[in-house]
Structure 1
Amino acid sequence: MDNVQLLLAIVFHAVLCGTCGAIWCNCTTAQCKKSGLQCETDGACMVSISFIDGQEQRIRTCITRDNLVPLGQPFYCRSAEGLLNIHCCYTDYCNSIDLKVPSATSRSALGEGLGAEGTWGPVELVAVIAGPVFLLCLLLMVAMFLFQYHQRAYSHRQRLEVEDPSCDHLYLTKDKTLQDLIYDLSTSGSGSGLPLFVQRTVARTIVLQEIIGKGRFGEVWRGRWRGGDVAVKIFSSREERSWFREAEIYQTIMLRHENILGFIAADNKDNGTWTQLWLVSDYHEHGSMFDYLNRYPVTIEGMIKLALSAASGLAHLHMEILGTQGKPGIAHRDLKSKNILVKKNCTCAIADLGLAVRHESASDTIDIAPNQRVGTKRYMAPEVLDESINMRHFDSFKCADIYALGLVYWEIARRCNSGGQTVSSPSYPCFSGPEHAADRAQTVPAGIHEDYQLPYYDLVPSDPSIEDMRKVVCDQKLRPNVPNWWQSYEALRVMGKIMRECWYANGAARLTALRIKKTLSQLSVQEDIKV
């Protein structure tokens, strides 16, 4: 039992004093005289008394930690029966006690190691009692922390998996479908989206199916909600400001329009380990215009439908609607073919409003401090590239959007199939021409069309810098090539004219989105196209 108690004292000392620093001891050796008969050590204090040649010798000194071996009964702390009585301790000046002179019938070496009388002193008692209590308390604290952490994580997961029952009697009855929800959004009057608690309920009952895209912000997934497909844009936690800004823009009063991506819900989902930032919107299986034009050529009809719907969406975005439930004018600032989606009926929906700015007409201010050079370099207007844009004038941002729209039109027109014989093409999605009765295969014109290319593909590198674009657009004043053969087709001739009027170096001379919309509407009537 004595061996166990001594071992506990040593272990307790190692736990409590392993990181507590040095202790001070009484010292009677010659080298301690200069330090005031005291010494400092990281090990133990020692006092000993011996009886040699009929004389008593008392020593008080320090023992360094590396000499306290082996564990439990250090050599330096062992008594010699009848000759030497030693006591080691581990607190400041604890070696001030007096020991009895050893005799042949004295206590065993181990007993002397514990104390002068072979009984437990106050230090040893504290070590034996407090050590296990301290360790037990420490273990209990760790266990309680882990338990509470896992309880929080579990409750978060449970909350995400259970639909909010308070919504059932309001917007979300059990039999309500995605189409019903979109109808609610379209007819709610405000046009600013569903209540936030309904948005959370929708987001937390979506089942993700597959990833359909990636970007600087995070990932885009196709999800399922009550039998319908939705698109889920998942932002990384580093992009919280972008997520909040885009959700805020999409919920602008009266923004909802058939040619602007339909917003459904926004939610921050905490799964107990990290936070996901979700933006839920309509799902369009054709993807972006960039993806669509890479896969398919377009007919004259398809070109006009894409161009007119894009102009309609941008005109609504730019338009200010006055009134108590009015809509502010909004500039996109990152318009490009990758940020325009192609719907099932082959019209467009403008998306990705995270960089947009709103104009407050009452105070003639823009709602955030804009960055001059924002957006995609290839689509930046001349005044953005050379930093001459008037940042205090909202129309400057609308003019920059028009320049980018002209580049998108060039991408569409290049892929236009302008005539020739027809060929069977069952996979072609957007041509409403004659269908074969047997296999219902659609036919498309096999006329002139060019491979898909990005604007300025022949003038700048694949990932151009701002300086690359500035030299071409501002210094050399070059624009994408408009082929002469487009003049042979009325629709392509009109498209070419619109592009040139979107690309003027002077932003104020460019067309407005509304003017472009009216021109293309007239063209669709001439071509007998139903849009």
Structure 2
Amino acid sequence: SCTGDVECVCEGFSCNGDQHCFGLQCFSSLSVENGMALQHKGCIVGSEEVAVRCKNSQTVDSLVHCCQETLCNMNVTVEMPMVEGPNYSVTTLTIVIVAPVIVLILSGVAIMIFRCIHHHQMEHLTAHDAEYGTIDGLIASNVGESTLADLLDHSCTSGSGSGLPFLVQRTVARQITLSECVGKGRYGEVWRGQWQGESVAVKIFSSRDEKSWFRETEIYNTVLLRHENILGFIASDMTSRNSSTQLWLITHFHEMGSLYDYLQLSMLDASACLRMALSIASGLAHLHVEIFGTQGKPAIAHRDLKSKNILVKKNGQCCIADLGLAVMHFQDTNELDVGNNPKVGTKRYMAPEVLDDSIQTDCFESYKRVDIWAFGLVLWEIARRTISNGIVEDYKPPFHDVVSSDPSFEDMKKVICIDQQRPNILNRWFSDPTLTLIVKLMKECWYQNPSARLTALRIKKTLTKMDHSLDKIKEDI
């Protein structure tokens, strides 16, 4: 045994079977011999050994850690020093580099084939499909005890768009219990549903709006649309109930309801106004931009943006819903996919070029500019319900003072195109810096010339800058 004042753990060939030793210091070392890493622990007896081993602790082929407390080397692990890597052959390097590229190419081809097959199936649904719920020609397996969150997490890496994998959508839809109707309209009904203890929203489309269901289902199932300001899609199903066919779209549930409903009952302060405006702009910017890559998406224009198609989340942000009229654009092929829906947008929110039929329907930018016009009207709705100087107005829809509650196409054309009217700008808004900015933005969304309007990205950046300024003011206070 070693002699000295400090008790140390001893491991390795020099310990002669003893688990402890005594010396001036303890050490843990790692050395490389004949390409193998060897661990040692033990005692340093002489002062000369301390100077040599501890003060020059790292060499080309060894590494030593020293300490001076009882059993201090017990839990010390010395990491392997950097050593020169092996020389790989040209064949090995070729396999390592080329194989992933081949896999990516084959995956891309498979995805394209899948999209074509799915698109073909969506367009050729039969009555038999509707009765037995086989939209995609697949039979669902039992999802067992999986939670909604587990399934959605899986879908984000499955390459299957924004919702659940096709095999699961069928099963989820059939396990949902409808609990209460939370909205009705020309499109159909929205119900709160329960699935394995979690609330979901079930939009049941009317038979005359089935093409909107087809379009929304197609977009959500082929495009990765996960974004905090886009309504989260879960599943889509065509099912038979009470001897009639029902078209279901199952999404996340937001109990605050639509922005239209929320503004009827709630007043906003400047901070809440900005939070809502920025979140809607962020969602719209995400839709409008094309993202390239395996997790990318085509550029999408909404075409029916309005306060009824925007939902309010618990955190005060909003998310954009209802993609039944959406248009997709693929830059690499310059393909413009307008779908097969004869329905037009909401007349009250239509841009001048839509009303006078001067819109360039073969140009994707035209559709984005239509969205910006409608976004400006939504900003106006939010601003009316934002308090400044202790004043706030009742909720009113855009152009409430010049057209009826259900305006005709010709009514709106006269107001917007011929008279070139815009919603009233209230004087009180200019007393608040946030509302002053909102006024400037909405005016730049309403230019008669579509190409002069702001882009969604520019609006988002402007609102983000304003949001940061507000945060800084709060910090200073």
Following TM superposition, where does structure 1 have runs of at least 4 consecutive aligned residues deviating by more than 6 angstroms? 370-373
Q: 1:300 to 1:186 in 2, by over 3 A?
A: farther
Deviations 1:55-101 (A, max 9, x none): xxxxxxxxxxxxxxxxxxxxxxxxxxxxxxxxxxxxxxxxxxxxxxx
Deviations 1:133-154 (A, max 9, x none): xxxxxxxxxxxxxxxxxxxx9x
Among residues 491, 494, 513, which one is paired with 2:456 in the alignment? 513
Q: 1:379 to 1:265 in 2, by over 3 A?
A: same
Equivalent pair of 2:300/2:329 in contact (CA under 8 Å): yes
Give the whole-Å Cα distance in 2 for the aligned partners of 1:214 and 1:187. 35
Among residues 183, 187, 192, which one is paired with 1:217 in the alignment? 187
Q: Aligned with 2:268: secondary structure?
A: coil
The alignment status of 1:178 with 2:148, answered yes or no, reads: yes
What pairs with 1:55-94 in structure 2 (closer than 5 Å)? none
Equivalent pair of 1:414/1:450 in contact (CA under 8 Å): yes
Residue in structure 1 matched with residue 202 of structure 2 by the alignment: 232
Q: 1:185 to 1:345 in 2, by over 3 A?
A: farther
Equivalent pair of 2:256/2:314 in contact (CA under 8 Å): yes
Give the whole-Å Cα distance in 2 for the aligned partners of 1:496 and 1:213. 31
Residue in structure 1 matched with residue 317 of structure 2 by the alignment: 347
Q: Aligned with 1:182: secondary structure?
A: helix
Give the whole-Å Cα distance in 1 for the aligned partners of 2:165 and 2:311. 26
The alignment status of 1:457 with 2:400, answered yes or no, reads: yes
Residue in structure 1 matched with residue 306 of structure 2 by the alignment: 336
Deviations 1:250-280 (A, max 9, x none): 2232211110000000111124722211110
Equivalent pair of 2:325/2:343 in contact (CA under 8 Å): no
Q: 1:466 to 1:373 in 2, by over 3 A?
A: farther
Deviations 1:373-430 (A, max 9, x none): 82001100011111111111000000000000000000001100125xxxxxxxxxxx
Deviation for aligned residue 1:357: 0.9
Among residues 219, 228, 245, which one is paired with 2:215 in the alignment? 245
Q: 1:336 to 1:259 in 2, by over 3 A?
A: same
Equivalent pair of 1:177/1:227 in contact (CA under 8 Å): no
With 288-297 and 178-187 compared, the bigger mean Cα shift is at 178-187
The alignment status of 1:205 with 2:175, answered yes or no, reads: yes
Give the whole-Å Cα distance in 2 for the aligned partners of 1:295 and 1:218. 24
Deviation for aligned residue 1:355: 0.7
What pairs with 1:87-486 in structure 2 (closer than 5 Å)? 167-168=141-142, 172-174=143-145, 176-186=146-156, 188=158, 191-271=161-241, 273-368=243-338, 374-419=344-389, 447-486=390-429
Aligned AA (1:511): L
Q: 1:372 to 1:399 in 2, by over 3 A?
A: farther
Give the whole-Å Cα distance in 2 for the aligned partners of 1:493 and 1:366. 37
Give the whole-Å Cα distance in 2 for the aligned partners of 1:353 and 1:405. 15
* Bigger Rg over Cα: 1
Give the whole-Å Cα distance in 2 for the aligned partners of 1:520 and 1:391. 30
Give the whole-Å Cα distance in 2 for the aligned partners of 1:239 and 1:505. 31
Aligned AA (1:250): Y
Deviation for aligned residue 1:177: 2.5
Give the whole-Å Cα distance in 1 for the aligned partners of 2:427 and 2:242. 61
Aligned AA (1:281): T
The alignment status of 1:527 with 2:470, answered yes or no, reads: yes
Aligned AA (2:333): S
Aligned AA (2:391): I
Give the whole-Å Cα distance in 2 for the aligned partners of 1:165 and 1:461. 49
Aligned AA (1:525): H
Give the whole-Å Cα distance in 2 for the aligned partners of 1:373 and 1:193. 25
Deviation for aligned residue 1:322: 1.7
Give structure 2 stretches of 5+ with no counterpart: 1-127
Give the whole-Å Cα distance in 1 for the aligned partners of 2:153 and 2:382. 31
Deviation for aligned residue 1:238: 4.1
Deviation for aligned residue 1:503: 0.3
What pairs with 1:10-49 in structure 2 (closer than 5 Å)? none
Identity of aligned residues (%): 59
Q: Aligned with 1:251: secondary structure?
A: helix
Q: 1:522 to 1:463 in 2, by over 3 A?
A: same
Give the whole-Å Cα distance in 2 for the aligned partners of 1:377 and 1:166. 41
Deviations 1:81-124 (A, max 9, x none): xxxxxxxxxxxxxxxxxxxxxxxxxxxxxxxxxxxxxxxxxxxx
Give the whole-Å Cα distance in 2 for the aligned partners of 1:328 and 1:180. 26
Deviation for aligned residue 1:195: 1.6
Equivalent pair of 1:365/1:392 in contact (CA under 8 Å): no
Q: 1:165 to 1:239 in 2, by over 3 A?
A: closer
Give the whole-Å Cα distance in 2 for the aligned partners of 1:494 and 1:392. 33
Deviation for aligned residue 1:188: 4.5
Give the whole-Å Cα distance in 1 for the aligned partners of 2:339 and 2:166. 27
Equivalent pair of 1:190/1:325 in contact (CA under 8 Å): no
Equivalent pair of 2:239/2:246 in contact (CA under 8 Å): yes
Residue in structure 2 matched with residue 96 of structure 1 by the alignment: none
Q: How many residues align?
A: 341
Q: Aligned with 1:345: secondary structure?
A: coil
Deviation for aligned residue 1:183: 3.3
Give the whole-Å Cα distance in 2 for the aligned partners of 1:310 and 1:412. 11
Aligned AA (2:344): V
Equivalent pair of 1:415/1:452 in contact (CA under 8 Å): yes
Deviation for aligned residue 1:189: 5.5
Deviations 1:161-184 (A, max 9, x none): xxx99745xxx341x323333333
Aligned AA (2:302): H
The alignment status of 1:495 with 2:438, answered yes or no, reads: yes
Aligned AA (2:237): D
Aligned AA (1:448): I
